[in-house]
Amino acid sequence: MLLYSAIAATLRDQIAQGVLRAGERLPSIRQLASGHGVSPATAVQACLQLEREGLVQARPRSGYYVLASPEPPRSTAPRRRVPRPVDNPALARLHELLARTDLLALHNASPATELLPAKALATSMARTLRRSQQQALDYAPPQGHAPLRRLIAQRYARLATDVSPDEVVITAGSMEAISLALRVLTQPGDVVIVETPTYHGILQAVAAHGLKVLELPHRQGGGLDLARLDVLLEQTPVRAAVLVPNFHNPLGTVLADADKQALLDSCSRHGTVVIEDDIYGDLGWSGERPPPLRHFDTRGQVLTCSSFSKTLAPGLRLGWILGTGWTDALVRAKYHSTVGNPTLPQLALVDYLEQHDLDRHLRRLRQQLADNACRMQHAIARYWPEGTRCSSPKGGLSLWLQLPDDGDADALAAAAMGEGIGISPGALFSSRGDYRDHVRLGCGMAWDARLEKAVQRLGELAAEAVQP
């Protein structure tokens, strides 16, 4: 890496991690030069690089200052008291967007292939096929390959969370884990709680099982509205709550430990089971790994779902559910639907986890995601219409934006698609198509000139979408 790029990268990280905040001055050219042992000209080049990226601004005779990121969205969720089936036509068309492999995929909340350990995974696949061909080509047990279940249980032990390999059920991603949990827990017509906004896959799973939903809003400034949860649970028998407590999609928020505890207490009082989707738990940008809800569960009332989709590769389709008292029922449901997960990826993943340091990969990935998101936030501040609001996530893979003046996010998404850019309109993230002035952008792609151009073009299209 060039000297000035290395200095720029250090400063960028400090901005991403909040060490240097909006409005604060960067160290002076003299301080940067002597601190890094480079010439003042190299230090200036580093600052100019950050200025080109829209992260800082030069003030004459004063230095370089960190530019403000946009304000967070002021999403107001409608307060519906009556449980209703999911009724959102936008969800029915989602598969068309997902089928478009020609788009610049800002609609996906997944890490780009270049951020994944693709070579190491390919080597593990090849080695597994060579060494264990017969096993790899045979059926796997419906519950999943035992060594993989043990390695997953081991990772929870490091979070001071007691999990037995006997209750780990391997699934085709977190999505199947959630579907199996709903299948085992609910009957059509039952009521479940979902967050608003929430991941559209959860809404689709709930709809597919013929369930009714009550929506639990997030408070301004983060955190679930737990007072509202109590009201909802008092009024209606609720079978399950499907929640994403760590690095929520699309908000990027984390539920505080005390709130996790309070949430479990409320749900336990009302006999409501919690289906926890912890798929982003390892993707905290500061390196912090918040405990899963399961860590606080003393009554066996939480079904934790997760996967390697966001950390190793979505195409492996390797996820799991911690079944607690429902493990047998979940294994039966898994057998009825797919017999079991494909064997080769399970064996190859065990090989990968034994040969490589997953945590080392995660450290790098988190850093890259934080960096991508920071650059994207600043590009939004620079190129999108004034008044555009943008979330400040603590981790995960999404930015949640609100257009000014009730801008039309559906029109923006359609115009973007016409120019080869995929984005997710806000209407996908609620049971009734709310958030029509919001969009979600994935931040799993490494920042480069093409991406910057796309965010700039989106800003121009957004300006047209907010025209009266």
Task: State the residues that interact with ligand PLP by CB under 6 A.
Answer: 109, 173-175, 199, 201, 244, 249, 277, 279, 307, 309, 314, 319
Instruction: Tell me which residue of 324, 319, 317, 270 sits closest to 297, measured CA to CA.
Output: 324
Q: What is the DSSP string of 165-221?
A: GGGEEEESHHHHHHHHHHHHH--TT-EEEEEES--HHHHHHHHHTT-EEEEEEBPTT
Between 278 and 408, name the residue whose CB sits nearer to ligand PLP.
278
Q: How far is the CB of 314 from ligand PLP (least distance, A)?
A: 5
- Contact indicator for 344, 128 with CB cutoff of 8 Å: yes
Give the dihedral sign, CA 423/429/432/435: negative
Which residue, 307 or 343, has its beta carbon nearer to ligand PLP? 307
389-390: strand order across its sheet: 389-390, 398-402, 438-442, 424-425
Residues 6+ apart with CB under 8 A from 23: 65, 66, 68
Q: Between residues 7 and 318, which has the closer beta carbon with respect to ligand PLP?
A: 318
Q: What are phi and psi of 112, to 5 degrees?
A: -65, 155
Which C-beta is closer to ligand PLP: that of 128 or that of 174?
A: 174
Burial class (CB in 10 A: 0-12, 13-18, 19+), 223: middle
Nearer to ligand PLP by Cβ, of 33 and 91: the residue is 91
CB nearer ligand PLP, residue 156 or residue 199: 199
Q: How far is the CB of 319 from ligand PLP (least distance, A)?
A: 5
CB of 347 to ligand PLP, least distance (A): 19
* Phi-psi group of 273: left, alpha or beta (phi > 0 → left; psi -120 to 50 → alpha; rest → beta): beta
E-only strand ranges, 13-60: 56-59
For 420, the 3-state DSSP assignment is coil
Comparing CB distances to ligand PLP, the nearer of 109 and 194 is: 109
Query: CA-to-CA distance for 1 and 50, rounded, in angstroms?
Result: 16
Within 8 A by CB and 6+ apart from 438, the residues are: 73, 75, 197, 400, 401, 402, 403, 409, 425, 426, 429
Q: Could you tell me the smallest distance in angstroms from the CB atom of residue 244 to ligand PLP?
A: 5
Q: Residue 161 and residue 322: Cα distance in Å, rounded?
A: 12
> Closest CB to ligand PLP among 145 and 378?
145
Token pair for 468? 């009266």
Please state the closest distance from residue 206 (CB atom) to ligand PLP, in A.
Answer: 13
**Contacts with 2 (C-beta within 8 Å, 6 or more apart), sequence order:** none
- In the bound state with ligand PLP, the residue whose beta carbon lies nearer, of 295 and 310, is 310
In the complex, least distance from residue 307 CB atom to ligand PLP, rounded to whole angstroms: 3
Structure token pair of residue 382: 């620079």
Q: At its nearest, how many Å lie between ligand PLP and the CB of residue 422?
A: 13
Give me the least distance between CB of 80 and ligand PLP, in Å please. Answer: 22
> Of 313, 309, 278, nearest to 292 (Cα)?
278
| Minimal distance, residue 46 CB to ligand PLP, in Å | 35
Nearer to ligand PLP, 199 or 447 (CB): 199
Which residue in the shown chain puts its C-beta closest to ligand PLP? 173
Strand duo 273-277 + 240-243: pairing = parallel
Please give the DSSP secondary-structure letter assigned to residue 247: S
CB-wise, 151 or 231, nearer to ligand PLP? Answer: 151
- CB 248 → ligand PLP: shortest distance, Å? 8
Least distance (Å) between residue 286 CB and ligand PLP: 20
